[in-house]
């Protein structure tokens, strides 16, 4: 029986990016054991063959360790990138100038001439515009534009490498279309059993609709996560969250380049709160334990950053470079796990039942979810068990932040894997039930077998009667046999 295997353990989820430092089967096994819930594949780096092999290794390791995890594919989106560089690196010095040329096929660049992988680059910038490289570590300003070349003065220098990102704060409408650049990776996701897709550089709900339309053509059911990394997305967050059923990723790297950096903490808190109000999960990402790319320990500020994201209500915390190219990928996950376990008991669980989520009249499933969580405090229930086909019921229960363990049960393996992203939810696969009585009895027995309740304990069980056509509409207090 497939299971996520979290039981009564950590509630906040850990997303880890797989890259050269973590693709080895033995390292993947150690990451499983350290507690990774979802593995992220960054499609902006690596080839389809490499990512297909990584998927195969994750699934194989999952079988060997007996625990299901989710696989999140991260679409590249319309991010501008540098072309090849001589020796793969160039050092830019403050106060000097450098030319940038937009081209898709050209000779390798150097410290005097950088190529940008977009023919329309020179038309998207104007004199005085800022241009940022390497996640904002290298900052330049446009001096002049002549034909296909842009002359920039380097205000803050540093090293840049081949294919690093180029940020143009304020330049939005002229960037390449996400659909064109991402379609091959959408097809890859469909063909390789990817569980979730993150859509990069979302600016409006229509950006998600383009991806949905292509997946519909492929008859694929892959939930989408909207990455919030543009100021336009932060401004339209409520519309985007409403559209993104599987939630949002707060990608602070690019968001911190295009917003004034001092505004990022406030934006993060607001986005997590908005996702919570809508009962949608949120992932807090980028540079959470950045020091551990090279060091064996994080800074105290980084530890505080992870804890504060959990205090604010994030469902998951994500490791990027730390596990993709870092020297200590497994230890980074272990540190993240320890931070979460110490932080979670201090959440104000009882208050969150009635304050975290926006209540909607006449939504039966939402009401049942809230009642089930509230009953745990009033009646001393030991756990909640929620059968679910799509995972929606589990998502609604998770949004109210129950203190007790929650076991989500689904007949669909892909749903079991996707629910690994939800705060406080462990999941397992079971056969469909022939009667509501058998469903209730089996769920109570599953709670005992999964170790979240003992014989004689009272548990809450939610369920849906299909004939009623209103989704989850049943709530029972059940004594575990």
Looking at residue 106, its pLDDT comes to: 73
Compute the distance between CA of residue 201 and CA of residue 232 in angstroms, rounded to an integer: 9
Q: Is 92 helix (H, G, I), strand (E, B) or coil?
A: strand
Q: Is 75 helix (H, G, I), strand (E, B) or coil?
A: coil
Looking at residue 2, its pLDDT comes to: 80
The percentage of residues in the chain with a pLDDT greater than 70, rounded to a whole number, is 96
Alpha helices, H only, 344-462: 349-355, 364-379, 392-399, 413-418, 436-449
Catalytic annotation, residues: 40, 81, 227, 286
Sheet of strand 458-464, all strands in order from the earlier edge strand to the far edge: 425-429, 406-410, 384-387, 458-464, 472-479
Give yes or no for residue 349 having a pLDDT over 60: yes
Mean pLDDT of 288-307: 97
Expressed in percent and rounded to 5, the helix, strand and coil fractions of the chain are 40, 25, 35
Give the residue among 421, 380, 409, 422 at the shortest CA–CA distance from 472. 409
- Please report, for residues 363, 413, 430, 440, the alpha-carbon distance to residue 433 in angstroms, rounded to integers and kept in the order given: 25, 16, 9, 9
- Please report, for residues 91, 122, 135, 158, 231, the alpha-carbon distance to residue 87 in angstroms, rounded to integers and kept in the order given: 11, 25, 20, 16, 34
Alpha helices, H only, 66-197: 178-191
Looking at residue 134, its pLDDT comes to: 83
Give yes or no for residue 358 having a pLDDT over 80: yes
Q: Is 133 helix (H, G, I), strand (E, B) or coil?
A: strand
Residue-averaged pLDDT of the chain: 92
Mean pLDDT of 334-363: 94
| CB neighbour list of residue 139: distance below 8 Å, 6 or more residues apart | 130, 131, 132, 133, 154, 155, 156
Q: Is 32 helix (H, G, I), strand (E, B) or coil?
A: helix
pLDDT tens, 155-197?
Answer: 999 989 888 889 888 665 556 655 567 999 999 999 999 999 9
| CB neighbour list of residue 424: distance below 8 Å, 6 or more residues apart | 11, 398, 401, 402, 405, 406
* Residues 84/115, Cβ–Cβ less than 8 Å: yes
Fill in the DSSP letter of residue 157. -
Compute the distance between CA of residue 168 and CA of residue 161 in angstroms, rounded to an integer: 18
Compute the distance between CA of residue 411 and CA of residue 428 in angstroms, rounded to an integer: 8
* Residues 371/384, Cβ–Cβ less than 8 Å: no
User: Looking up tokens 């998600």, which residue turns up?
Assistant: 208
* Residues 223/257, Cβ–Cβ less than 8 Å: no
Give the residue among 366, 69, 303, 295 at the shortest CA–CA distance from 196. 69
The model's confidence at residue 305, banded by pLDDT at 50, 70 and 90, is: very high
Domains and CATH numbers, the chain: 13-77+178-345 (3.20.20.60), 80-167 (2.40.33.10), 349-479 (3.40.1380.20)
Give yes or no for residue 470 having a pLDDT over 80: no
Mean pLDDT of 427-452: 90
Buried b / exposed e across 216-235, counting CB within 10 Å, b at 16+?
A: eeeebebbbbbbbbbbbbbe
Compute the distance between CA of residue 428 and CA of residue 9 in angstroms, rounded to an integer: 15
**Listed range (251-255, 364-368, 408-412) with the worst mean pLDDT:** 251-255
| CB neighbour list of residue 442: distance below 8 Å, 6 or more residues apart | 430, 433
Compute the distance between CA of residue 374 and CA of residue 443 in angstroms, rounded to an integer: 20
- Please report, for residues 73, 105, 179, 274, 284, the alpha-carbon distance to residue 207 in angstroms, rounded to integers and kept in the order given: 17, 28, 8, 19, 21
Compute the distance between CA of residue 353 and CA of residue 197 in angstroms, rounded to an integer: 29
The percentage of residues in the chain with a pLDDT greater than 90, rounded to a whole number, is 78
Give yes or no for residue 381 having a pLDDT over 90: yes
- Please report, for residues 42, 48, 139, 150, 157, the alpha-carbon distance to residue 153 in angstroms, rounded to integers and kept in the order given: 32, 37, 9, 10, 10
Give yes or no for residue 352 having a pLDDT over 70: yes
């Amino acid at each position: 029986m497939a299971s996520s295997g979290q039981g009564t353990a950590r509630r906040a989820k850990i997303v880890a990016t797989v890259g050269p430092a973590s693709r080895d089967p033995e390292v993947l096994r150690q990451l499983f054991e350290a507690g990774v819930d979802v593995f992220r594949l960054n499609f902006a780096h690596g080839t389809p063959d490499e990512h297909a092999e990584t998927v195969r290794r994750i699934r194989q390791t999952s079988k060997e360790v007996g625990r299901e995890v989710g696989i999140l594919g991260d679409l590249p989106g319309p991010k501008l990138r540098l072309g090849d560089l001589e020796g793969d690196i160039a050092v830019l010095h403050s106060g000097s100038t450098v030319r940038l040329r937009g081209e898709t096929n050209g000779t390798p660049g150097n410290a005097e001439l950088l190529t940008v992988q977009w023919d329309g680059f020179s038309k998207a910038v104007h004199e005085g515009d800022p241009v940022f490289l390497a996640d904002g570590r290298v900052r330049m300003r446009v001096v002049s534009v002549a034909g296909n070349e842009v002359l920039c003065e380097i205000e803050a220098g540093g090293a840049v490498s081949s294919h690093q990102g180029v940020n143009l704060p304020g330049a939005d409408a002229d960037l390449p279309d996400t659909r064109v650049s991402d379609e091959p990776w959408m097809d890859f996701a469909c063909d390789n059993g990817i569980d979730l897709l993150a859509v990069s550089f979302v600016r409006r709900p229509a950006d998600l609709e383009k991806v949905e339309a292509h997946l519909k053509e492929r008859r694929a059911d892959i939930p989408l996560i909207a990455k919030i990394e543009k100021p336009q997305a932060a401004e339209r967050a409520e519309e985007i969250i409403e559209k993104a059923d599987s939630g949002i990723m707060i990608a602070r790297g690019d968001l911190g380049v295009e917003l004034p950096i001092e505004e990022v903490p406030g934006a993060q808190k607001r986005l997590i709160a908005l996702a919570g109000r809508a009962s949608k999960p949120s992932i807090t990402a980028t540079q959470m334990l950045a020091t551990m790319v090279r060091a064996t320990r994080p800074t105290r500020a980084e530890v505080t950053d992870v804890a504060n994201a959990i205090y604010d209500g994030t469902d998951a915390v994500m490791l990027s470079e730390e596990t993709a190219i870092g020297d200590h990928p497994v230890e980074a996950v272990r540190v993240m796990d320890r931070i979460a376990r110490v932080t979670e008991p201090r959440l104000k669980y009882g208050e969150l039942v009635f304050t975290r989520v926006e209540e909607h009249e006449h939504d039966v499933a939402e009401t049942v979810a809230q009642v089930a969580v509230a009953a745990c405090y009033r009646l001393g229930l030991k756990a909640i068990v929620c059968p679910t086909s799509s995972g929606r019921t589990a998502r609604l229960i998770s949004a109210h932040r129950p203190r007790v363990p929650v076991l989500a049960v689904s007949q669909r393996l892909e749903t079991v894997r996707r629910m690994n992203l939800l705060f406080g939810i462990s999941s397992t696969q079971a056969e469909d039930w022939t009667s509501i009585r058998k469903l209730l009895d089996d769920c109570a027995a599953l709670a005992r077998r999964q170790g979240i309740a003992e014989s004689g304990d009272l548990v809450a069980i939610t369920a849906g009667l299909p004939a009623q056509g209103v989704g989850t509409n049943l709530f029972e207090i059940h004594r575990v046999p």
